[in-house]
Amino acid sequence: MDQSWTEHERRRLTRLCAVLTGDSSAAEDLAQETLLEAWRIRDRLVDPSGRGPWLDAIARNVCLRWRVRRGKLAAREVSCSLPTDLPGTGHAAHDEIAELLDHGELVDLLDRVLDLVPVETRAALVARYVDELTPQEIARRAALSPEAVSMRLTRGRAKIRELLETELAEEPLAQVWVGRHGAAWRPTRLTCATCGRTSTSIRRDRRVGEIQLRCDACEPVGVASSWRVDNPALAPHLTAVSRPSAVVDRMATWSHGWWPAAIDAGRATCTRCGSEVAVVPYERSDVSEPRTRRGWQASCTACTEILTTSLLGLALSFPETRRLRSRRPRAHAVPTRSTEHAGRASWEVRLRDDASGDGVDMLVDVTTMRPVAVVETR
């Protein structure tokens, strides 16, 4: 970066920063900060002919961060002058993000996430929570409809929540957030294996160290499946993917590679500490349907790690069932029925697609609780 180019760009960027911030006294310092940041990341400028727009984008980020810092000071001043929340102030807003601002935390958060959201969303968040403009005022300033502004704010808040529960989860601010609001359930496109509806949600709950899955229709206040993210055997599979379908697929693959052999042997190696653990059947008293009332458990007395799978969970891990659900996404569990297999009393844990009639039956020996056959039906 030669001196003549620096002086030329500094003058241009100073004018731009004055326009972006409305503060001509700070513009020169912000222009210098822009050039310093550009110098640090100069290797990212692949095409020199696009240098101007590239510098302008850096300047916009620098100015947005400056406005956040300025808002941080303003928030501290307001907190000193307003001992209680007053109607009509930013402190009286009722959305979750404004609740953070009540505690002087939002401006710190925005300073961290500005580079992680689209520029339009970023500008809307700063205007709303730093400049304390209403959506209508933001709309007039940006020549947008209030509905468009509200959509940007909604997306921005959702992104902030996601970051607090993922990338920023170890930060003190994230601990405050999760302690106050809990980890958010997020809708997925996955269909529920129990009812066949597209009402499945997922969350990464850092408080308990789990990825959890549930059906909002079948079990709106419970958890259908959960996987420990700190388990050494599961973590490599869980941290390698983020899409809900990929998480479920990876865990099904892992389960099929672990549970059938462990059930046959009656023993296995603890997935956390490596000790030998007994693998035994369990029975729940709070449900009546055999496919979820009965299952298998591996409990380690050395490190207290516990793994469980219901009969339905075990059935869902078999390749035949996964092929069915891939081909017929709405295939779902139907009532378990009693039958015989090789002269022994058995249960049929069944999944069916209502439209085609395609299905899979896992036959389980009633006495030993072991799966004895998997049958595809057409």
Domain ranges of the chain: 3-181, 186-279
Amino acid at 227: W
Asked if residue 335 lies in contact with residue 322, where contact means CB atoms within 8 angstroms, the answer is no
- pLDDT band at residue 151, thresholds of 50, 70 and 90? confident
Q: How far apart are CA 149 and CA 155, in angstroms?
A: 10
Residue 23 vs residue 357, higher pLDDT:
357
Q: How far apart are CA 25 and CA 92, in angstroms?
A: 32
Q: Which residues pair with 206 in a beta bridge?
A: none
- pLDDT band at residue 98, thresholds of 50, 70 and 90? low
Q: How far apart are CA 335 and CA 121, in angstroms?
A: 48
pLDDT of residue 358: 97
Average pLDDT over residues 333-342: 96
pLDDT of residue 135: 87
On the question of pLDDT at 335 being above 60, the answer is yes
Per the structure block, which two tokens stand in for 103?
């505690």
On the question of pLDDT at 78 being above 60, the answer is no
pLDDT of residue 179: 61
Q: How far apart are CA 243 and CA 237, in angstroms?
A: 12
Asked if residue 153 lies in contact with residue 137, where contact means CB atoms within 8 angstroms, the answer is no
Q: How far apart are CA 215 and CA 200, in angstroms?
A: 4
On the question of pLDDT at 1 being above 50, the answer is no
Average pLDDT over residues 332-336: 97
pLDDT of residue 270: 97
Average pLDDT over residues 164-174: 67
Asked if residue 277 lies in contact with residue 267, where contact means CB atoms within 8 angstroms, the answer is yes
| Residue pLDDT, tens place only, 258-298 | 999 999 999 999 999 999 999 999 999 888 999 999 999 99
Alpha helices for the chain (secondary structure H):
3-21, 24-40, 51-81, 96-102, 106-113, 119-125, 135-142, 146-165, 172-181, 235-239, 244-265, 290-293, 311-317, 319-327
Q: Which of 229-238, 332-341, 342-351 has the lowest mean pLDDT?
A: 229-238
Q: Considering the chain, what percentage of its residues have pLDDT values greater than 70?
A: 81
Residue 290 vs residue 57, higher pLDDT:
290
pLDDT of residue 256: 97
| Residue pLDDT, tens place only, 109-130 | 677 777 777 888 888 888 887 7
* Burial (Cβ within 10 Å: 0-12, 13-18, ≥19) of residue 183: buried
Asked if residue 261 lies in contact with residue 309, where contact means CB atoms within 8 angstroms, the answer is no
Chain-centroid distance, C-alpha 6:
43
pLDDT of residue 171: 67
Q: How far apart are CA 25 and CA 14, in angstroms?
A: 10
The phi, psi pair for 283, rounded to 5°, reads -140, 130
